[in-house]
Amino acid sequence: MKRFIETLKNIWRIEDLRLRILTTLGLILVYRLGTHVALPGIDPTQLGALRQQTSSGIMGLLDMFSGGAFSNASIFALGIMPYISASIVIQLLGMAIPYFQRLQREGESGRQKINQITRWLTVLITTAQGPSYLYNLHAQLPESAFVISGAYFTISSVIIMTAGTMFIMWLGERITDKGVGNGISLIIMIGIIARLPFAFFSEFASKLEQQGGGLVMLVIELIILFLVFMGTIALVQATRRIPVQYAKRIVGNRQYGGVRQYIPLKVNAAGVMPIIFAQALMFLPMMLGKFNTEATNKFVAAFANYQGFWYNITFAVMIILFTYFYTAVTINPTQMAEDMKRNGGFIPGVKPGRKTIEFLDTVMSRITLPGSIFLAIVAILPALAGLTFVNSSRFAAFYGGTSLLILVGVVLDTLQQIESHLLMRHYDGLMKSGRIKGRPGSITSV
């Protein structure tokens, strides 16, 4: 406790770090206030049906990522998810289209062009999603909830929601430039955390209603949640360190030799992307079911049940396959072997060239398997928790899945940046070891 208080004092003494943290908190406060500003023309006192719809299922997931703005019919109702979707599309295009590959290699200028294209794509996606959201509002809310209706309401609301999403993007960029951590990732994390107190109190109330041992079971649930959280941290931080013994070489009259370095290969190099890809495909059977509403067949019914056996086993298998696919696309053993050769390095006992490429490929395949299996387990844990010991579906969502991986990744990344500021000014870090391993990049590239 004493060390923690001393660390807080050290953070406050560093003026630049203090200003960055205060700026981050101020911008996040603006975002949280905006999630409670309802669209013009909607009576916010009649949103009960919409909140009931977003209490579970895919709507609940969307509401969680928007920090409750979805169920509040807010100007930020679509949240930052259109930008995330646009970023994923641009990443996929960067793997297949030479133009985007060339932009990725152009450094800062190429990154700016990619960001500009991503922004325009975000506008298109938000404009397309806006009418769907308004259609859902009309289906869920009574007519008395709409003070304004007709084409004027639709057009103005779409424009406002599009502007809201772009404003959230701007807040995220300001946090990244002037604050601490990745702004977009922090906004998503804050939205998820904002739903945690409501989910916990819902679970707490349900346990009080149980006869005998309800509170004891709640304590056990919290312990399990802590263990899952720590396991997810281990998954995010896990690396396989391959030693690279650099050959002796003569530079001028000085001799260098016996220098041992390491190649860090992550057990989970794909991050949360396999879950996102697999989840997108798992929605397809539900969409097909709409064409057969009179007699939904067993196949569609099985994959419409988020806690069903076939849904979760298929979901887990697809995550494992996508983990291998995304790792194979992002990790290039040939490039790694060429970089080692260019720097005069080699792996002890492995010949340079083709043998090194095969060795790195084999190692990545072996360490990706446990990483992909653990990622699949984390993804289906909310369903397992909801079927076994957790009563509230909202609280069960925090036992794994995309939300938990985002929380862990963003927290580690932010703490790593704060610790870097402390260590640069010769203060002790947040941990005794002085090292917190985060994961670089935005939430779309973890």
Instruction: Report the CATH number at residue 66.
Output: 1.10.3370.10
**Cα Rg of the chain, angstroms:** 24
Q: Is residue 161 part of a domain?
A: yes
Return the number of other C-beta atoms located less than 10 Å from residue 175's C-beta: 25
Give the containing element (helix H, strand E) for 345. strand 345-346
Residue that is last in its domain, among 133, 150, 179: 179
Q: Is residue 10 part of a domain?
A: no
Q: Is residue 190 part of a domain?
A: yes
Whether residue 282 contacts residue 242, with contact meaning beta carbons closer than 8 Å, is answered with: no
- 394 with 410, same domain? yes
Q: Is residue 284 part of a domain?
A: yes
- 325 with 423, same domain? yes
- 171 with 201, same domain? no
- 304 with 159, same domain? no
- 358 with 223, same domain? yes
Maximum CA extent, the chain: 87
Domain span at residue 111 reads 22-179
Q: What is the pTM of this model?
A: 0.76
Q: Is residue 121 part of a domain?
A: yes
- Per the structure block, which two tokens stand in for 10? 């050290």
pLDDT in tens, the chain (446 residues): 677 777 778 778 888 888 999 999 999 999 999 998 989 988 888 888 887 777 766 667 677 778 888 888 899 988 888 888 788 788 778 777 888 888 877 877 888 898 899 999 999 989 988 888 888 888 888 888 888 878 888 999 999 999 999 999 999 989 988 888 888 888 888 888 888 888 888 888 888 877 667 788 888 888 988 888 888 787 777 666 667 655 444 334 444 444 556 677 777 777 777 876 777 677 666 555 544 555 455 666 666 666 778 888 888 898 898 888 888 777 888 888 888 888 777 787 788 888 888 888 888 888 888 888 888 888 888 888 878 878 777 788 788 777 787 788 788 878 888 888 777 776 655 555 555 555 544 444 44
Residue that is last in its domain, among 162, 179, 196: 179
Phi, psi of 40, rounded to the nearest 5 degrees? -60, 130
- 133 with 211, same domain? no
Q: Of 56, 4, 7, 21, nearest to 392 (Cα)?
A: 56
Distances in Å between the Cα of 440 and the Cα atoms of 213, 418, 422 are 43, 14, 18
Give the containing element (helix H, strand E) for 241. strand 239-246
The single-letter DSSP state of residue 259 is -
Q: Is residue 424 part of a domain?
A: yes
- 244 with 322, same domain? yes
Torsion from C-alpha of 431, 223, 197, 305, nearest 10 degrees = 120
Distance, CA of 228 to CA of 390 (rounded, Å): 14
Whether residue 46 contacts residue 162, with contact meaning beta carbons closer than 8 Å, is answered with: no
Q: Is residue 397 part of a domain?
A: yes
Q: Is residue 8 part of a domain?
A: no
Exposed / middle / buried, residue 156 (Cβ in 10 Å: 0-12, 13-18, 19+): middle
Residue that is last in its domain, among 124, 155, 179: 179
**Total structural domains within the chain:** 2
- 53 with 93, same domain? yes
- 161 with 281, same domain? no
- 250 with 276, same domain? yes
Phi, psi of 86, rounded to the nearest 5 degrees? -65, -40
- 346 with 387, same domain? yes
Distance, CA of 27 to CA of 34 (rounded, Å): 11
- 328 with 427, same domain? yes
